[in-house]
Structure 1
Amino acid sequence: MSTEVKNVSKVLIVTTSHDHFEGANPHPTGVWLEEFAVPYMELLHNGVEITVASPKGGSMPIDPRSLPTPEQDKAWQRAIAASKQTTQLSKVSATEFDAIFLPGGHGPMFDLPDNSDLQQLLREFHDTGKIIAAVCHGPVGLVGATLSDGTPLVKDKVLTSYTNSEEIAVKLDKEVPFSLEERLRDLGAIFIAHEDKADHVEKDGKLITGQNPNSSASIARALVAALNQQLPAIFERTLEAIAPAQIVAEFPVNTFLENLAIAPDGTIFITSYEDGKVYRMTQTGELTDFAKVEGNMAGIVIEPTGDLLVAATLKGKEPTICRIQPTGSVERILTLPEAIFLNGMTHLQGNLYLVADSYKGAIWAVDAISQTARIWLEDPLLARSDASNPFPAVNGIKIYQNALFASNTQRQLLIRIPLTDDGAPGKPEVFLTNVNLDDFAFDNLGNLYGTTHVYNSVIRISPTKEITTIAKAEQGMTGNTAVAFGRTSNDNTSIYITTNGGMSLPPSTGVELAKVVRLEVGVQGE
C-alpha cells in the first residue's frame, strides 16, 4: 500500500547519455531500465512530480540486457515514455526540487563522474539539506562531488553501490573505467556490501543508496518515506518471537523515563529526563521518588560503593556528572563545559566511566575519584549526519568481549570499538546498519537486546546479526528507551524496559502512560 506524499514533492532523476562501453569491445550499454522505471513508477504512484535529466538531454540509452518483458513494458509505460524526452542537465536548478535520484546501469560510469553540472547540483542539494539517492552504479555520480570546502561529498557517509564481487560475477570488471566500490572507499565512504544480488539499501541522513537492480523497489520506498518525513521501514522483514511481558510500574502521561540501573539486590533506579528525577523501585514493586536535580537527567550507573553516577544537564544548560548517595542526596562532582548532550553511561575499568555525548559525536572518560574528565574518543561514526535533526547520535554504550558497542540512533548504526588492555579505544567499525537502537544489553550468549524507541519494539540481535522482534507496542513498548538485565536469582533471565509512552513520536491514539516492563528472555545477562 502506498502513502501519498504530502504537499506534492518534486524529484529530479539524473540519468546517463552514454550508450556504449569504451575500449576494445564497445558494446552497447546505458541505463539499467529497472533501476529507472521501478522508482519512477513508485514516485508517480505517490503523487510526486518528476523531471528526468541527462547530460545531453533527449532520449536516454537503455542497456539492451535490461529491456522489459511484455508485462514490464505495460507496467512501466509512463516511465519508458519519460525516458525518451529527458531535459539537458545544464538547464535544471536544484532550487526546483526536493530530492535528486541517480539510477544505475554501466552508462553512468562513463559520463557522470566528471560532470560539472551534476557536481554543482549535488553540492547544492547537500548544502540545502535535500535528499540525495542513488542505486547500483548511480552512486558513481557522487564520486566527483565535493562540499564547498573541497571535502568529498561521500566522506564518512555510510553507503552502498554495485560491488566489486557483483562486477566480477557479470564479467565486466575489466571493462569499466574503475571499480566503483574501491573509488567510494578511497574517497572516505563507509562502504557496506551485502551478498551478490541482495536487496540492500543504506540510509545515512539525507543520503540513500541501493546496491543493485534488486534494490530498486526498496530504494524507491525509502525515497518516498524520506520525502514524507516518515521513519524508514527497517524492521518490516524482521522475524518475531514475542517474549512474556509484565508491566511492573506505570507513571503519568508525559513522563519521559530515560534510563535505568539495577543494583545487586534487585533495586531498580530509573531516571526521568524532563523533570530531573531518579525513581527507586524495590523488588516488591514499591516505588518512591529518590533524588532530583534542577534540570534534565539521562544516563545512570551504580558505583561499587552503591552510590549512583548520573549524567545531567542542569538548569543553566551545564553538562554535569552528579553522584547520588544512598540517602538520595545529590552532589555535583564534575561540570563538562565542552560537552553538549551527555547521555548513556557505562563502567570502563577502575574509577573510569564512559559517557556518550550525543551531539558532540564523542565519548568522555570520567574519573569518579579524581573528578576529572577527558575526551576518550571522538569519531565521525559517533556523530550526527544532520544537525537539524534532534535525534541523538552516539547514545547507548556497553562493553562486551573487549569491545565497546555504541548505538548511533540518528544514523541507525551499531558501532563496535575494540579496547586495548589499558582501556584505550581502537578504530571504530560499523557492526550493523539499518538498526534503530537507543539503549541495549547483552546476555551471556552474546545476544544483544535493544530498545528501538520510536519504532515501539524491543529487538534481539544474535551474534550472527540476525534480528528478531521480541516485544511490540502490544506488550507496552511504546516509546521504549532503555534496557537492563535483572540481577537476582528471581529475575536474572529477565530484562527490564523503560518507556516514555511515545513522547518522541506520539501514536495516533495519543501519548500513553510511561512504564517499566519486564520481559522474560530465558537467558542470563552478561
Structure 2
Amino acid sequence: MHFYSPYLPLLPIILTSLISASPTSRHAIRAATRSPTVTSIHNFTLDTWVENLAVRANGQILATLLTTPQVYQVDPNPSSANPATLVHTFPSTTGCLGITELSPDIFYVVTGNFSISAVGSTPGSYSVWELNMAGFAAGGTPIAAAKIADFPQSVFLNGMTALEPVGGNTLLIADSGAGAVWSLNVDTRAVSKIITDPLMAPTSGADPAVGINGVKVRDQTLYFSNTDQQLIGKVALNANGSARGPATIVVGNAPGADDFQLDVLGNLFIAGDNELRFHGTVEGTGGPPDVVTNSSLVAGSTAVEFGRLATDLVSVYVSTNGGQGQYFSREFTNPGEIVRVDVLAAGWPKLR
C-alpha cells in the first residue's frame, strides 16, 4: 500500500470524519455530490478494445489491447507531442489482457487468443510476459519482451495482480473460464492452479463464460469481480496465495463488473456496463454501487486505475472498448479510449 505525499497530512482528518459519520449521513453527503469531470485522454481507432491498464511511477499509462496483441504507453499530458507510443507487439497471439507491476517499472502482461466476433476463448493459448519499462520514454521505439510461462491447462486468463505489495515474485491470475486463480512465481516460473471457488465460477451456459475477471490483493486478501455472477467477492490468503477459507460477497449487485480498484479506505471503484461505479465499504449500507458517471466517454468501461502524480492524485483513469455491442454489429460509433475521471473533486472519497 502506497500513500502519496500531497494528501498524506490530511489522511487522519478525513478518515476520522468519514468513519465517525453515521451510514445515513455519509450516503446523503455522497449522493449530493456533483458529477465528476470526465476527460478523454486518448482515442484509439474505432475497432480497438482497450482491455486493461496500469500507471507507471512517472505518470505514464500502459494500456493493453484485446483486439490486437499490443501494449501502448499513453501520455496523460494533453500537450504531449507523443500521446501514444507502441511498447510491444506480442507474437503468435491475438490480444492482451491483464497487466500489473511486480517491482518498480517491471510489468507483466497476459496474452492469449480470445475472439470477440466468435465470442470465445482458445483454451491453453495463454501466456505471461515480462516488460522491463525502465528507461522507456514517450516516442521511443518498441522494446523486447520476455516470455515467463505458458498456461496450457488454462481456459481463459484475464485479470492479474501481485501477491505481495512490494518486491515479491508471485503473480495471481484470474481464469475467467475455469472460475479459478493461477499463481506464477516469476523467478522459478512455477505455475499452479491455486484457488477455485463457487463465487469465482462462470454462470452455467453463459457464452462466453466470464466468471472471475478483475483481481486485486489488499492486506493478504484477494478481491475479485465475477462478471457472470455480477458480484465483487473476497477471500483471505495464505502466504503462498492459496485460500484460507471460502470466498464471501462484498458487493452482490454489480451488473457487468469488469476490473476495479480499491482506494486507501477500502472503497471500490468498479468499471463495467458502460459506467464507473463506487461502492463505499466504510458505509456498510449493503446496497448496489452508486454510479459515479455514465458519460458516453466511459461506454464499454473495462478497467480503472489511480493516478500517481501530484497532478492526478484526485483522479482515476478508465479504459474502454467504446461499447461492447458494436463489436458484434460491426457498426462502430465509439472508439476504445482512456479517459480521466476527477473523482475526489466531485466529492467521491478517494485517497491514495
- Asked if Structure 1 and Structure 2 have the same fold, meaning a TM-score greater than 0.5 normalized by the shorter chain, the answer is yes
Q: Distance in 2 between matches of 1:305 and 1:419?
A: 24
Alpha-carbon spacing, 1:439–1:241, altered in 2? closer, same or farther (3 Å): farther
Offset at residue 304 of structure 1 (A): 1.2
- SS state of the match for residue 336, structure 2? strand
Matched, 1:323 2:116: no
The equivalences for 1:396-475 within 5 A come to: 396-421=214-239, 423-426=241-244, 427-436=246-255, 437-452=257-272, 455-463=273-281, 464=284, 465-466=286-287, 467-474=289-296
- Structure 1 239/276 Cα, relative in aligned 2: closer, same or farther at 3 Å? farther
Check if 1:518 corresponds to 2:330: no
1:386 positional shift: 2.4
**2:122 maps to 1:307:** no
Greater percentage in strand: 2
Amino acid at match of 1:318: S
Alignment equivalent of 1:255, drawn from 44, 48, 68: 48
Which deviates the most, 413-422 or 365-374? 413-422
- Which string of whole-angstrom CA distances, capped at 9 and with x for unpartnered residues, describes residues 319-349 of structure 1? 1011122362121110011111111011102
Higher relative contact order (CA 8 A, sep 6+): 2
Matches of residues 210-229 of structure 1 in structure 2 within 5 Å?
none
CA contact (8 A) 1:314 1:320 kept: no
1:346 corresponds to:
161
Task: Output the CA distance in 2 between the equivalents of 1:257 and 1:305.
Answer: 23
Alpha-carbon separation, structure 2, partners of 1:342 and 1:290: 21
Paired residue type of 1:304: S
- Larger Rg: 1 or 2? 1
**What displacement does 1:498 show?**
0.4
Deviations 1:143-194 (A, max 9, x none): xxxxxxxxxxxxxxxxxxxxxxxxxxxxxxxxxxxxxxxxxxxxxxxxxxxx
**What TM-score, normalized by structure 1, do the two folds share?**
0.51
Shift of the alpha carbon at 1:241? 5.0
Query: Which of 312, 315, 340 is the equivalent residue of 1:491?
Result: 312
User: Does the CA-based 8 Å contact 2:222-2:235 persist in structure 1?
Assistant: yes
Contact 2:326–2:332, Cα closer than 8 Å, also in 1: no
- Alpha-carbon RMSD across the aligned residues, in angstroms, is 2.4
1:502 Cα deviation (Å)?
A: 0.8
Instruction: Indicate if the aligned counterparts of 2:223 and 2:233 stay in contact, CA closer than 8 A.
Output: yes
Residue aligned with 2:229, SS: coil
On the 8 A contact 2:53/2:319 being kept in 1, the answer is yes
Report the secondary structure of 2:44's partner residue.
strand
Instruction: Report sequence identity in percent.
Output: 27
Which amino acid in the other structure matches residue 250 of structure 2? F
Offset of 1:378 from its aligned partner?
1.0
Shift of 1:443: 1.2
- Displacement of 1:516 after TM fit? 0.6
Tell me the residue number matched to 2:61. 268
Structure 1 residue runs without a partner (length 5+)? 1-237
Shift of 1:242: 2.2
Larger helix fraction of residues: 1
Counterpart CA distance in 1 for 2:145 and 2:172 is 20
**Given the alignment, which residue of 374, 386, 391 partners 2:204?**
386
Alpha-carbon distance in structure 2 between the residues aligned to 1:247 and 1:335: 35
Task: Return the TM-score normalized by structure 2.
Answer: 0.75
**1:429-458 Cα shifts (integer Å, max 9, x gaps):** 122222121010111122100012xx2111
Separation in 2, partners of 1:254, 1:413: 28
Structure 1 counterpart of 2:39, one-letter code: Q
CA distance in 1, matches of 2:293, 2:205: 31
Mapped contact 1:381–1:428 kept (Cα < 8 A) = yes
Q: Give ranges in structure 2 of 5+ residues lacking alignment.
A: 1-30, 115-121, 137-142
State how far apart, in whole Å, the 1-side matches of 2:41 and 2:210 are: 28
Distance 1:373 1:380 in 2: 22
